[in-house]
Chains A and B, each alone.
Chain A
Amino acid sequence: MAKVLVVTSGKGGVGKTTTTAALGAALAQRGDKVVVVDFDVGLRNLDLIMGAERRVVFDLINVVQGVAKLPQALIKDKRLENLWLLPASQTRDKDALTEEGVGKVIDELRARFDWVICDSPAGIERGASMAMRFADEAVIVTNPEVSSVRDSDRIIGMLDSKTVRAEKGERVEKHILITRYDPSRAARGEMLTIEDILEILATPLLGIIPESQDVLRASNVGTPVTLSNTEGAPARAYTDAARRLCGETVAMQVPVERKGLMDRLLRRRAA
């Protein structure tokens, strides 16, 4: 049974694309057949994060408009056998995403893959609403910061009213993924706590991804963070989140402050 999963947030820059790539790779590593779909028409970036930017021939809008067939537009990952990318268009405008066209593409993807992961653009406009429209499940990427939590709440409202499932009286299964979590700032009480966020959003937690240089390094080289430094804290947190998506029970790891030599030196200098 294929699952359509939307990675969304409302706010920009919180880590949707990083999360899409990381979860997609982690699920593919488990043996599932996965496609990651970029819905950010006009400002695509998932191709860059996946390291496939030089191989884009056709895109989602070409398929929606019938210019290309789906198999022609799918780009196979060079590292994982069962991971694929459907890129967004860089030039055409968002209005080209018709509900009927997107629905047909999603149906075709459902027939071919176990997971269809839709990377939503920021905002609440057409691209974002199309990305979530056919979703069975949603990962709401949230930073421990007031504006991000507020936007997540707005997106949760849309997931509960503007999706095909919601209109049929069914529900989209929602998960909060907290990213860019900084344990040292949390310890100093400078950040919203996990408990605060979950209480405000009243939605279950999928995982906590610590702020880490691994994420920047992974994007620099165009590799999902779950594949670039598999022993790193973000990779492990994303892999655990992927296992939870598959229904496994995995104990939640709350990132703790690392007191390395460099951290101490930097702290002293900053103080």
Chain B
Amino acid sequence: MSMGLLRLLRGNKASAPVARERLQILLAHERGLRGQPDLLGVLREEILAVVSRHVALDPTKVIVRLERGDEVSTLEVDIEVPNDIERKRVAVG
């Protein structure tokens, strides 16, 4: 209540709530790491292992992007597969 009032007086510019939210997301993830393996890390490892069973992976052609969020996180694995292997497959638009 008083926090909200304070923010109103300052013209809604307080940065501390942003700091709190960022820390909550980050620390929830980091505390989890101490007990159990990082889920996104495990997924990343296993996806790459599966793909490399079928394709000789060039590590420089694999891009992994991650965005940790409050509700959901996204793991984006971008793998460049040479065409001679993919020739028989139907292109996916």
Q: Which residues of A contact B (CB under 8 A)?
A: 48, 51, 53-58, 68-69, 71-72, 90-91, 216-217, 219-222
B65 touches A48 (CB 8 A): no
Taking A48-B22, A55-B65, A221-B19 as known contacts, 19 extra A-B pairs with beta carbons closer than 8 A to each other, sorted by chain A number, are: A48-B26, A53-B22, A53-B26, A53-B68, A54-B25, A54-B67, A54-B68, A55-B66, A57-B66, A69-B60, A71-B63, A72-B59, A72-B62, A90-B30, A90-B33, A216-B15, A219-B19, A220-B16, A220-B18
Contact of A220 among B19, B59, B63, B65 (CB under 8 A): B19
Neighbouring A residues of B65 by C-beta, 8 Å: 55, 57
Residues in B neighbouring A220, C-beta threshold 8 A: 15-16, 18-19, 22
Q: Does B64 contact A (CB under 8 A)?
A: yes
> Does B32 sit at the interface, judged by CB under 8 A?
no
Interface residues on chain B, number (Cβ under 8 Å): 21
Minimum CB–CB distance for B88 against chain A, Å:
29
A55 touches B67 (CB 8 A): yes
Q: Which residue on chain B has the smallest CB distance to residue A47?
A: B26
A-B contact pairs, 21 of them (CB 8 A): A48-B22, A51-B22, A54-B25, A54-B68, A54-B73, A55-B66, A55-B67, A55-B68, A56-B66, A57-B65, A68-B59, A69-B60, A71-B63, A72-B63, A90-B30, A91-B33, A217-B15, A220-B16, A220-B19, A221-B19, A222-B18
Q: Which of A57, A68, A217, A222 contacts B22 (CB 8 A)?
A: A222
The 8 Å CB contact of B26, one of A54, A71, A221, is: A54
A216 partner residues in chain B, CB cutoff 8 A: 15
Residues from chain A with Cβ under 8 Å of B22 in the complex:
48, 51, 53, 220, 222
Cα(A90)–Cα(B32), bound, Å = 13
Determine the chain B residues whose CB is within 8 A of the CB of A222 once the complex forms.
18, 22
> How many Å lie between the Cα of A257 and that of B60 in the bound state?
53
- Contact residue among B25, B44, B59, B69 (Cβ-Cβ distance under 8 Å from A57): B44
State how many angstroms separate the Cβ of B68 from the closest Cβ of chain A: 4
Bound-complex Cα distance A220 to B22 (A): 8
> What are the 9 A-B residue pairs with the smallest beta carbon separation, nearest first?
A220-B19, A220-B15, A54-B68, A217-B15, A57-B66, A221-B18, A57-B64, A69-B59, A221-B15
